[in-house]
Amino acid sequence: MDFETIQYAVDDAVAVITLARPGAANALSSLMIDEIDRALDLAEADDDVRVVVLAGEGKHFSSGHDLKEILEERDDWALMRRTPEGKWEHERVMFWDRSLRLRDFPKPTIASVHGAVAAAGFMLACMCDLIVAADDTRFSNLTARMTGVGVELLVEPWEFGPRKAKEFLWCAETWGAEEAERLGLVNKVVPLADLEAATRAMADKVAMIEPITARSIKETINHTMDRMGQVESWKYHFLMHQMVSNTATALGATEKRRGGGMDAVKREQAGS
């Protein structure tokens, strides 16, 4: 299957989905989101695939939403955002549904991250079961300074705990790989040059587990998180996110960014 914005390859029991828009810091365009979903279809249907790795080409894993695509209304999804109900539908289908699909994917998943892992890119990485980070990785979510209430799924309390989550969001912090590992977000930190090999070594270990066993462990742990209220908390946050994004304050900030040129948008996406 041909892809425009990602690469998909299978080597023995490991499928690798690589975000491949390096010139845009792997910002998540509508096409990229669709293609990730199609690649997951391939991996799910392939009985030989036991583990899926999600990686990024170029200097960054992902800078988050493709704000340029949204602000310039380049596709039908972006055009839908002219109304509150259209914005709701866009974000429900493309970010809520697609994120939960990855979180609940029946095979183990590993995010292999480096450079900027920002906003929706951070959310994407957190949907994976395991995270291997290069030592140059920078995790951030600066959306509060853009009047946003995080992104569609507020993963921070589940990854950092409530107090560190508030600090991360309110203070617009950017945390490196070592701090992320200390807080429990990251499983392993390795030199950038070793990232691919270290991720593959972890994937090979996971692939040794029989699929029914691996799936059962994942479903049980996810069920435990659900009993603790993870998805319900995300539903509440999604409502708050929609409400705030349609206030006069947020709409005014969007118009300011639209009129301020794309360079500012790019800086926001790269977490600089």
What domains appear along the chain, each with residue ranges and CATH number?
A: 6-269 (3.90.226.10)
Q: Which residues contact 136 (CB under 8 A, 6 or more apart)?
A: 114, 115, 177, 192
Grade residue 269 by pLDDT with cuts at 50, 70 and 90. Answer: low
Q: Over 80: is that where the pLDDT of 31 sits?
A: yes
DSSP H stretches of helix in the chain: 30-45, 67-71, 76-80, 84-91, 98-103, 120-126, 156-160, 162-170, 177-183, 195-207, 211-227, 230-245, 248-259, 262-269
Give residue 144's pLDDT: 92
Cβ-contact 131, 155 below 8 angstroms: no
Task: Give the pair of three-digit tokens for residue 29.
Answer: 């365009």
* Residue 142 pLDDT exceeds 80: yes
Flag whether pLDDT at 271 surpasses 90.
Answer: no
Query: Is the pLDDT score of 262 beyond 60?
Result: no
| The pLDDT of residue 56 | 98
Q: How many residues does the chain have?
A: 272
Residue 1 or 261, more confident: 1
* Cα separation, 116 vs 10, whole angstroms: 26
59-99 pLDDT, tens per residue? 999 999 999 999 999 999 999 999 999 999 999 999 999 99
Q: Which amino acid is at 146?
A: M
Average pLDDT, the chain: 94
Phi, psi of 182 (to 5 degrees): -60, -35
Q: Is 45 helix (H, G, I), strand (E, B) or coil?
A: helix
Out of 13-22, 33-42, 146-155, 226-235, which region has the weakest mean confidence (pLDDT)? 146-155
Q: Residue 190: is its pLDDT beyond 70? A: yes
